Amino acid sequence: MRVSDNLLFKTYLNNFNTSKEIMSKLQTDIATRSKINSPSDSPTGINRLFKLNSQLDSNTTYIENIDNSLSFAKSTDASLQVVSDSVRRIMETMYEMQNPIVSMDTAHYADKLDAELKNLLEAANMQYDGKYLFGGTDFSTKPYELSTGNNTVDRMVENTGEQKVTISKSISQKINMSGQEVFGVVNKHTGNIDPSLASTNKTNTVYDANGTAYDFKVTYTKNTGEGASNSYNMDYEIFSKDASPVSVFGPLTKEVKFYASTGTVESIDGKSPGQIRVNNSLPPIDFVFDMTAITNKTGSNTVNASQNQKRDVFNSLNTIIKNLRNGQKPSQDEFNVILDFDKHVINKMADNGNIIHSLDMVTNLLDSQSTELKKLISLEKDTDVAKSIMELNSQETTMNTLYKMSSMVLPKSLLDYM
């Protein structure tokens, strides 16, 4: 093969440039400690890197959320403990009052219970980071207040809201105990409404803050007409328990829709199913009506009503105190209200404990996930510095050899010998 001068020079330069290009890449990898400095370095690698980094960022945010939420849940736990301790002392006092040997200084006991009522109210109105622990999602107003003249304890806000926090991809965790679920009265309907019947009604007893009983009447009337299948008008009203009953609240109507396939509640007035607050100022009746467990299937037509407590603990206690000041000892019925509330608080403390436990578990899981993600990111991205340095040294040797060879070959020609 005929070798011209240009051929020699070109071959040398091509080889030299190839070697330099490799060295340049290695230098960049070592200096940045990263194999992937641009998308073209590894198109599949960068896609994977994006996804891993995105997941890691999300995990970091979830962990922060959980840390904040844990503090809130632990504060709730502390407050519930205060409530529980207060209720225990109330029960001890009430046991004492039942002992016939002990002289009945009702005013003294009234004062003791009054102090505990204030403790309970203080615990119910506790805050964390500017948020009322039992205020639901309404942070602006204190949930519970004694009315003017201390006649009743009133619920000041719609404190049924759930505070939810995202703790994982598309998973939210409720972190609060609403005032309603800890202290409130829940009137619950369960059972089934047979769709073949035009209407079904149910009446049960509810109480105002002073302990007076009323009839809470609910009627489910099937809607007719086009597009009205599985739709009912739910009318609810409260009547006095007199010989000639008088309506003291309502009637109010809500449209309830049931799923055709499952018979469960689909919506109430077009919104997601939830509890309905029944709040009347005079007489002071305040409870939550929950009919979301009702079904609408062919079969039995039995609607059951239950109430978690006769009255909320605050007004129950307030009545006991007023009666004590009038020299009247609490009845067994009133004692049972406090007893039931004590059990209820213990259950709620367990529920809150579950929330804390759940958050702790998720934190551990997210922490180990994050560690794993960092490891994967490192595997994908990080340069093996030792290996790169060795390759760089090898290339340097190659280049030095090229230089040496070229210095021997390139300058020579016949001219040197003429």
Partner 1 sequence: MSISRIMDISSRALQTYQKSINVTSHNISNANNEKYTRQNVNFVSDGSDVMGGMGVTIKNVERIRNNLLDTQIRYYNSKYSDQEKRSNVLTQLEAIITEPSDNGLSNYINSFFDSWTQLSVNPTSSSLRSNVMQATQQMSDKMKSVYTGFEEVRLSIGNELDGKLSEVNTLLKDISELNRKVFETQLKKGEPNDLMDLRDKSIDELSQLANIQITWDKEGSANISLGGLAVADRYNSDEIKSTLSDGKIIFTSSNGSFRLALNSGELYALTDTYNNKIPNYLDKIDSIATTIMDNVNSLHSGGKTAHTPPLTGVDYFSNYNNGELTINENILADNSYIAASSDGTIGNSDVARQIADLKNQKLLDGKTVSENYFDMVSALGNEKKTTEQNLSSNSVVIQQLDSQKASYSGVSIDEEMTKLIKYQRSYDAAARLIKVADQLIQTLINSV
Interacting residue ranges for partner 1, rule: CB under 8 A: 1-7, 10-11, 14, 36, 38-44, 46-47, 49-51, 53-54, 57-58, 60-62, 64-65, 68-69, 129-131, 135-140, 158, 161, 163-166, 169-170, 172, 381, 413-415, 418
**For partner 1, the closer CB: 50 or 95:** 50
**Which single residue is written with the structure tokens 């506790």?**
126
Residue 345 C-beta: closest distance to partner 1, Å:
23
- The CA distance from 309 to 183, in Å, is 10
**For partner 1, the closer CB: 49 or 256:** 49
**For partner 1, the closer CB: 180 or 200:** 180
Residue 85 C-beta: closest distance to partner 1, Å:
27
User: Checking DSSP bridges between strand 164-168 and strand 231-240, what pairing results, if any?
Assistant: unpaired
Residue 366 C-beta: closest distance to partner 1, Å:
13
**For partner 1, the closer CB: 71 or 205:** 71
Q: In what order do the strands lie in the sheet with 247-258?
A: 199-207, 213-222, 231-240, 247-258, 265-268
Residue 139 C-beta: closest distance to partner 1, Å:
5
The angle at the Cα of 315, spanning 311 to 321, to the nearest 5 degrees, equals 125
DSSP state of 285: E
Residue 393 C-beta: closest distance to partner 1, Å:
24
Residue 72 C-beta: closest distance to partner 1, Å:
9
Cβ(394)–Cβ(26) under 8 Å?
A: no
**For partner 1, the closer CB: 51 or 297:** 51
Name the maximum alpha-carbon separation found in the chain: 141
The angle at the Cα of 72, spanning 68 to 74, to the nearest 5 degrees, equals 115
**For partner 1, the closer CB: 6 or 261:** 6
DSSP codes, 351-397: HHHHHHHHHHHHHHHHHHHHHHHHHHHHHHHB--HHHHHHHHHHHHH
